[in-house]
Amino acid sequence: MAIKIPPVSEIAKDTYVINEFGLTAMYLLVGSDRALLLDTGCGLTELPDLIANITDKPLMVALTHGHLDHVGGIGQFDRIHLHPADYEMAANCDFERLRGYVDSLGKMGSYDAFGISPDMVREPEKLPEMKPLHDGDRIDLGGRQIQVIHIPGHTPGGLCFLDESVRILFSGDACNTNLLAQNTPVSETQRALLYLQTFAGRYDRMWNGHVGYAGNFLTCCQPDSTLSDLLTICERILSGTAEPKEFPFLGRTLCAYEYGVARMSYDPENL
């Protein structure tokens, strides 16, 4: 029987990953005063009802970035928080493209594991109020402080969230083993990742925005070398020592280069 409720796993004390049918991953962090939801997925999930089964504390919603697979559920909330550079992207989600995304990952395995369809994607009747988050902001959940880190690259407003209480960095899509940075200069992506590296001693594990991908039920943190491997990729691209492979992407040609556990896709004309 196909699964119709997103799998939820507790990855640390009061810290949960919500695997939205292999499409995207959301995280719920619960403090003594309130809870924080990171991302809203594709919108196939009644998130307020799901979260109510875990906590009854007041909820704050924050986005790691404005891409459609992370903002699809924003219409379920009155207020969301994100970096202003991604406001327009989040407010103009193309829900027909989002249905196409769901169908693509469905055919990659999600349809085999979960009872979902693109028709479950619903366009919101109204958009929530958007409130800004900036680099260095701190979110107080009560006995639990979450630091906001701005890491442009995947999108201009990409954010990571550092929770030192459980020593986890929630990196969204800004730092993962398959980094897509097609609209950002490689040099800018490198600077952002070098900045992220300055926080390395403050966390032990990094969880990104796509675990349990497609029909894969495994929900694991990223390999320890992910960030350093991405930095090696950037250095080799910029020094001209990389040997990337070209591939077509949405009507344009990108390059991809792999090192260690990581792969980065980029525009060779935008270094």
Per-residue pLDDT, averaged over 135-159, amounts to 98
Q: Is the pLDDT of residue 228 over 80?
A: yes
Of the pLDDT bands very low, low, confident and very high (cuts 50, 70, 90), residue 215 is confident
- pLDDT class of 3 with cuts at 50, 70, 90: confident
* pLDDT tens profile 87-103: 999 999 999 999 999 99
Q: Does 18 have pLDDT greater than 70?
A: yes
Confidence of residue 219 (pLDDT cuts 50, 70, 90): confident
How many Cβ atoms are within 10 Å of 60's Cβ, its own excluded? 21
Instruction: For the chain, list the domains and their CATH numbers.
Output: 8-266 (3.60.15.10)
Average per-residue pLDDT in the chain? 96
- pLDDT at residue 231 is higher than 80: yes
Give the residue carrying structure tokens 């495994």.
Answer: 218
Question: Is residue 7's pLDDT more than 70?
Answer: yes
Instruction: With cut-offs at 50, 70 and 90, classify the pLDDT of residue 177.
Output: very high
Q: Is the pLDDT of residue 255 over 70?
A: yes
Q: Is the pLDDT of residue 1 over 70?
A: no
Contacts of 112 (CB under 8 A, 6+ apart): 215
Q: What is the pTM of this model?
A: 0.96
Mean pLDDT of all residues in 32-36: 98
For residue 213, name the pLDDT band (cuts at 50, 70, 90): confident
Higher pLDDT, 239 or 125: 239
pLDDT, residue 218, reads 79
Q: What is the rounded distance in angstroms from the CA atom of residue 138 to the CA atom of residue 162?
A: 9
Confidence of residue 4 (pLDDT cuts 50, 70, 90): confident
pLDDT > 70: what percent of the chain? 100
In tens, the pLDDT along 46-76 reads 999 999 999 999 999 999 999 999 999 999 9
Q: For the chain, what is the largest distance between any 2 Cα atoms, rounded to a whole number of angstroms?
A: 53
Write a three-state SS string for 142-201: CCCEEEEEECCCCCCCCEEEEECCCCEEEEECCCCCEEEECCCCHHHHHHHHHHHHCCHH
Q: How many CB atoms lie within 10 A of CB 99?
A: 19
**Per-residue model confidence (pLDDT) at position 71:** 98
